[in-house]
Each structure stands twice: as C-alpha cells, then as structure tokens.
Amino acid sequence: MNLTNKRIMVTGGDGFLGRYVVAELKQHEVGHLFVPGHQDYDLTQINDVIRAYEVGQPDVVIHLAAKVGGIGINREKPGEFFYDNLMMGAHLMEQARLAGVEKFVSIGTVCAYPKFTPVPFKEDDLWNGYPEETNAPYGLAKKMLLVQGQAYRQQYGFNAIYLLPVNLYGPGDNFEPQSSHVIPALIKKCVDAIKRGDSEIVAWGTGRASREFLFVEDAARAIVLATQAYDQPEPVNLGSGMEITIRNLLELIAELTGFQGKIVWDTSKPDGQPRRSLDTSRAKQAFDFQAQTDFRKGLRKTIDWYLAHQHELQFGD
C-alpha cells in the first residue's frame, strides 16, 4: 500500500508510541493525518468512535490507543484494563468495517503470550496457554483484536493485520510512578536516589526475570512498514532480538545514571512473566523489519531525555 495521499487515523497518536508513528507517517507524505485525542474522544464509547470516523474519514486506521501500565497498575485495575481495551478495539474495528476503511492495523501486546512460552516466543505459540496472571486481563483484551481481525477477514474480506510489539522504551516514555513500565521506573528510581543522596534503592521481585526491549523509533518504523507491506491474517512479532534480566538491566541503568549505592530486591513483589524474548524472523521476511538501535545507546537517549525534562513532569507521588 502506497501511503501517499491516504487519509490515516492514528488512535493514541498523542501518546508515547503514537507520537513517533505520526512523525514516521509524516515522512511518507500521507494525504491527511487525524489523531482523535483522548480529551475529545472516549473510544470506549460507540458514539465517540462513530464521530471520529465521521470527522477523520480515514482510508487506513492504525489503532495504538490502549490503557497500559506496569505490573502494579495492572494488578490494581484489571477490570478497567480488560473492559477499556476490549471496547476500544471492538468498536473501532466494527465501525471501520462499516465505514469502508481499506486497512486496519491493530497493535497487540507481548502480554498476550502464555506465561510459560518457549523462548524465543513464536507467533504460533500464542494460544498454547494462559497469560501471566498479573497482566492477563490486559493481554487477553488486546488479543481479541487478533480474533476480531481474523474473523472479519474471513467473513467480510476486511483487511486487518495484528502486530505484537515487545516492551518499548525511549525518550518521552511514561515516568509516572503508579503506571510506568520497568525502564522508566528504574531510571526515575536511580535519578531520585542520587538527588536525595540515598545509599540504596529497592527494586521489585528477584531480578531473575528477563525482558526484551524495543526502542520506540524502531517500533514506529516497523508499524509503518507493516502498514505499507503486510496483508496477512497471521500475527507478527516486533522485537529487537535481545534479552536481558531485570537485575542486569538495573545494574546497567545504575551505571548510566551514576547511581553507586546498594540495590535491594523486594522478593515479596512479583517478577511477572519469567522470560520474554521474541522470534522476529516473520517481521524480517514479511516486511523487511530489523531493529537498528543499540540497547545501551537507546537507554542513554532515554536517560538524557528524562534528565532534561524531569522538572516539567508532574507526578502524583
């Protein structure tokens, strides 16, 4: 699909990943970009979704909007995370079909994978078990976008694709203590400890769980490549092909921020999924995507952004 002159609606386009996807799309001279801001459109409500389609009149929809967060907020609000994500996806895809949208790009989540998935995670393993309990409601709600897209393709010939990005990070990430993911949470923890002169920091879990991380600019490039070139019903992993334990991650962040104190592990808190690392071969074959950002350099950029902007950020803590 040539995106030049296409009208594209990006839900969540004012969010962390969305801002990078919008910037990437602007390089392709798209006909019109419409971002239904969350302050004007509640995408869990069907009337707001219908209004968004009437205003944006999109040829292509990239659905990034989601209620997301780390382990803590997922445990605190599982009902909200399930309902809001399920309703957004169901309404948006159904109204896209009714409006004659040419292509619908769903962004899923690595949380959709079973808790004990063989590493590296292959797309074919997606249904071989129940997700890790702390974020299962979120993961399952997002996985319904895959089911809906495949069902609509089968019955209506609707062109829906489903992408599964691993944990994202980068400049502009969410550093709010109550809802942030692991990298911004640990960066803030180290920076705050240095500022206060603390001799130690406390981290959740054992540190033995592993994660894979994808730099947000790489993720945005992958999403636009898939929008242009991928038209199949099978889901596609988006990752970097690296894996690091949370313990090693925190040690690296401590080094890059300059925190030299002690790290204490609070083993009463959950680790989440034991391991996360994706098989990224399908993305390479299907639309020639490979991550390009070195992890250490990506972390450095993220830390530098936070140091430059921390005084502008308003937190409820």
pLDDT in tens, 90-131: 999 999 999 999 999 999 999 999 999 999 999 999 999 999
The candidate with the shortest Cα–Cα distance to 15, out of 211, 191, 189, 219, is 219
Give whole-number Cα distances, 138 to 40, 171, 172, in Å: 24, 24, 23
As a whole number of Å, the CA-based R_g of the chain is: 19
Model confidence band, residue 317 (pLDDT cutoffs 50, 70, 90): very low
Task: State the average pLDDT over residues 293-309.
Answer: 98
- Establish how many alpha carbons lie within 13 A of residue 111's alpha carbon, considering only the half-sphere containing its beta carbon: 25
Q: What is the CATH number of domain 7-170+212-241+274-293?
A: 3.40.50.720
**E runs forming strands in the chain:** 7-11, 32-34, 60-63, 103-107, 160-165, 167-169, 200-204, 210-211, 213-215, 236-238, 244-245, 262-266
User: With contact defined as beta carbons under 8 Å apart, do 42 and 74 qualify?
Assistant: no
In the prediction, which pLDDT does 315 show? 64
Q: 58: cis peptide before it, omega within 30°?
A: no
Identify the bridge partners of residue 278 per DSSP, sorted by sequence position: 121
In the prediction, which pLDDT does 100 show? 98
In the prediction, which pLDDT does 178 show? 81
44 pLDDT exceeds 80?
A: yes
Q: Which of 113, 138, 152, 169 is catalytic?
A: 138
pLDDT in tens, 148-206: 999 999 999 999 999 999 999 999 999 998 878 899 999 999 999 999 999 999 999 99
Give whole-number Cα distances, 63 to 71, 89, 164, 223, 273, in Å: 23, 8, 12, 11, 25
138 is catalytic: yes
- Whole-number Å distance between alpha carbons of 16 and 78: 22
- Whole-number Å distance between alpha carbons of 103 and 162: 11
3-state secondary structure (DSSP) of residue 243 = coil
Surface-to-core class of residue 156, CB atoms within 10 Å of its CB (0-12 exposed, 13-18 middle, 19+ buried): exposed
In the prediction, which pLDDT does 198 show? 97
Q: Is the pTM here over 0.75, yes or no?
A: yes
Domain parsing of the chain, residue ranges:
7-170+212-241+274-293
Model confidence band, residue 219 (pLDDT cutoffs 50, 70, 90): very high
Q: Can you give 288-301 as a three-state secondary structure string?
A: CCCCCCCHHHHHHH
95-99, 176-180, 254-258, 263-267: least confidently modelled range: 176-180
The candidate with the shortest Cα–Cα distance to 111, out of 91, 95, 84, 131, is 131
